[in-house]
Amino acid sequence: MIESQVESQNFIGGEWFPADSGATLDVVNPSNPAEVIGTTPDSGAGEAERAVGAAAGAFEEWKATLPSGRGAILTKAADILESRTDELAELMAREVGKPMKESRMEVGRAAAIFRYYGSEGWRMHGMMPPSTRPGVQVSSVREPLGVVTLITPWNFPLAIPAWKLAPALVCGNTVVIKPASQAALSAAAMMRALKEAGLPDGVVNMVTGPGGTVGDALVTDSRVKALSFTGSTSVGLGIQERAVGKKVQLELGGKNPYVVMEDADLSDAAAKIAFGAFGYSGEKCTASSRAIVVEEVYEQFMDELVEATKAMKVGDPLEEDTDIGPVVNSDQYEKILNDLEKARNAGRVVLEGGATGSADEGYYLAPTIISEVDSSSETAQEEIFGPVLAVMPARDFDHAVELANDTRYGLTAGISTRSLRYAHEFIARSQTGLVNVNLPTAGLEFQVPFGGNKESGVGGREQGPAALDFYSAWKTVSILPL
Ligand code: NDP
């Protein structure tokens, strides 16, 4: 059990530094807002510039390190993270309110991602197709880009940094990461694991502070060659405009649909939608925020859904059986309560949730289900990022697909059906980067590409082999032996 405050500092050139001004930001426990669980430097542009300098200085040597050597360090970091599973899971539960069972899985996932990309150091496949010119040998190999900046959100404090850092590093880039201030303590733990694993000084650097200052300095620094961001659509699109001349990858929001057909196993569908909508308080870009149910089974399904939702436990994230902890901070709490007010007017409330007590006792929100929501309403169109589910009736399969695609987002979609025809047509017609048949929209595998279409994603997929394409550039070589 972590009792004391956790201190995070900037990690630059392999050493730990406070902010130049000495100022710090408090990391507050969302289960108990009176408790400051740690502090992190409230840095500015100067610290960001020095971190980019450290990364630029470390680049040539890291680039020259054999990919298998780079991979071996990642594999060692995976072992270190895994050996600290309980400690890190508890830190995340206190830092962002993530329930212990999901926090533990996240540590395991971060370690697996480091292992996966660690082993990529042995492969790093290029290509050598037959040349079209007699006697010529043509081949293409991957080269690192240089200094890359990673800007990460609070909702997956270890997994998102891991799935950006690991491919960036194995490809031979050096990195400056700016984690969300709320999740800076977990990010610092990841820096410690990488240092202990033997990562040379300067290869990874971390600077914490407000996105508007530290983040902006990293986005506009001409020494930074590529930038990968996960967070809100508005911030992401602003970054894209300012990151002139850089390779940019944005993972943004979602308003993910889950369709229930008349032939579905309704109780299985209800359990999967409840988990996708309300697990971790709906604070996942892959959360199921819209359920689309064909009229034939609508009422029957709603009964199953309410029952499955009531079975989920709202409570202290440190308790092993909790499904829904507090939302992350007072800003999100107020925003969701405001969105809830609008949601109540957007349809029929079938399960009344909202605040379970006063905010002083923690930012706890019970799940809310709103039925017969109009697809054009704000509740059906805007990301709430909280435990609120909009349910819509569909006349038939075609109408369900139309509703599912009626959004500016395109991250993930699900369908419950036993029909191969429905499943295949849904896969083909869904305008999303991920499709799930009889599986929740939330929950993904790291060895396959991840990302969205439309306003959910820009600049290529993350994870799996796709990440290598973002973090490297192809060099094509033609040789004519004389
Ligand atoms: P933001 O998009 O504001 O923050 C994401 C990251 O960007 C953080 O590290 C943040 O730093 C940084 N940042 C903020 N402003 C700038 C800027 N101008 N330039 C560079 N970096 C910047 O998301 P929030 O955490 O505030 O969450 C708000 C909403 O975003 C949620 O309600 C949800 O809808 C969505 N969201 C989506 C996620 C996803 O996975 N798609 C993940 C998290 C949130 P800092 O926070 O330290 O200021």
Which one from 251, 262, 283, 383 is the annotated catalytic residue? Answer: 251
Query: What are residue 224's phi and psi, to 5 degrees?
Result: -85, 125
Coarse DSSP helix, strand, coil percentages of the chain, rounded to the nearest 5 percent: 40, 25, 35
Q: Which residue has the tokens 């107020």?
A: 334
Which one from 285, 304, 383, 462 is the annotated catalytic residue? Answer: 285
Give CA–CA dist 389/103, Å, rounded.
Answer: 23
Q: At what angle do helices 159-170 and 100-120 cross, to 10 degrees?
A: 10
Residues whose CB is less than 8 angstroms from the CB of residue 253 and which lie 6 or more positions away in sequence, other chains included: 232, 233, 285, 383, 385, 409, 411, 455, 456
Residues whose CB is less than 8 angstroms from the CB of residue 71 and which lie 6 or more positions away in sequence, other chains included: 117, 118, 119, 120, 121, 122, 170
State the distance from the centre of ligand 1 to the C-alpha of 278, rounded, in angstroms.
Answer: 20
Residue 443 confidence (pLDDT): 87
Tell me what the pLDDT averaged over the chain comes to. Answer: 97
Q: Which residue has the tokens 């490297």?
A: 472
Task: Quote the radius of gyration of the chain (alpha carbons, Å).
Answer: 23
Give CA–CA dist 300/339, Å, rounded.
Answer: 27
Residue 332 confidence (pLDDT): 98
- Residue 87 tokens read as 């400690």
Residues whose CB is less than 8 angstroms from the CB of residue 266 and which lie 6 or more positions away in sequence, other chains included: 260, 297, 300, 301, 304, 416
Question: Which of 25, 39, 151, 208 is the pocket-test mutation for ligand 1 (most atoms within 8 Å of CB)?
Answer: 151
**What DSSP string describes 458-469?**
ESS-BSTTHHHH
State the distance from the centre of ligand 1 to the C-alpha of 192, rounded, in angstroms.
Answer: 24
Would residue 251 show up in a list of annotated catalytic residues for this protein? yes
Side-chain half-sphere CA neighbours of 301 within 13 A? 30
Question: Which of 42, 213, 235 is the pocket-test mutation for ligand 1 (most atoms within 8 Å of CB)?
Answer: 235
On whether the CB atoms of residues 146 and 112 are closer than 8 A, the answer is no
Task: Give me the count of residues in the chain.
Answer: 482
Side-chain half-sphere CA neighbours of 58 within 13 A? 25
Query: What are residue 455's phi and psi, to 5 degrees?
Result: -85, 10
Would residue 47 show up in a list of annotated catalytic residues for this protein? no
* Helix H or strand E encompassing 72: helix 67-83
How does pLDDT run across 278-295, given as a tens digit for each residue? Answer: 999 999 999 999 999 999
State the distance from the centre of ligand 1 to the C-alpha of 252, rounded, in angstroms.
Answer: 9
Q: All domains of the chain, ordered by start, with CATH?
A: 6-252+456-478 (3.40.605.10), 256-445 (3.40.309.10)
Closest Cα to atom 13, ligand 1: which residue? 211
* Mean local confidence (pLDDT), 125-144: 97
Residue 444 confidence (pLDDT): 85
- Kindly indicate the confidence band of residue 1, based on its pLDDT and cuts at 50, 70 and 90: very low
Closest Cα to atom 9, ligand 1: which residue? 180
Task: Answer yes or no: pTM beyond 0.95.
Answer: yes
State the distance from the centre of ligand 1 to the C-alpha of 54, rounded, in angstroms.
Answer: 25
Alpha helices (runs of H) in 2-44, residue ranges in sequence order: none
Give CA–CA dist 452/466, Å, rounded.
Answer: 13
Closest Cα to atom 43, ligand 1: which residue? 231
Strand partners, 7: 39
How does pLDDT run across 4-33, given as a tens digit for each residue? Answer: 567 799 999 999 999 999 999 999 999 999
* Helix H or strand E encompassing 10: strand 10-12
How does pLDDT run across 310-357, given as a tens digit for each residue? Answer: 999 999 999 999 999 999 999 999 999 999 999 999 999 999 999 999
Residue 3 confidence (pLDDT): 47
* Mean local confidence (pLDDT), 363-387: 98
- Residue 142 tokens read as 């991957």
Q: Using a 6 Å CB cutoff, which residues line ligand 1? A: 151-155, 178, 180-181, 210-212, 215-216, 219, 230-232, 235, 238-239, 251-253, 285, 383, 385
Query: What are residue 226's phi and psi, to 5 degrees?
Result: -150, 155
State the distance from the centre of ligand 1 to the C-alpha of 232, rounded, in angstroms.
Answer: 5
How does pLDDT run across 170-209, given as a tens digit for each residue? Answer: 999 999 999 999 999 999 999 999 999 999 999 999 999 9
Cα-based torsion angle of the residue sequence 317, 319, 320, 324 in order, rounded to the nearest 10 degrees: -40
Give CA–CA dist 171/179, Å, rounded.
Answer: 21
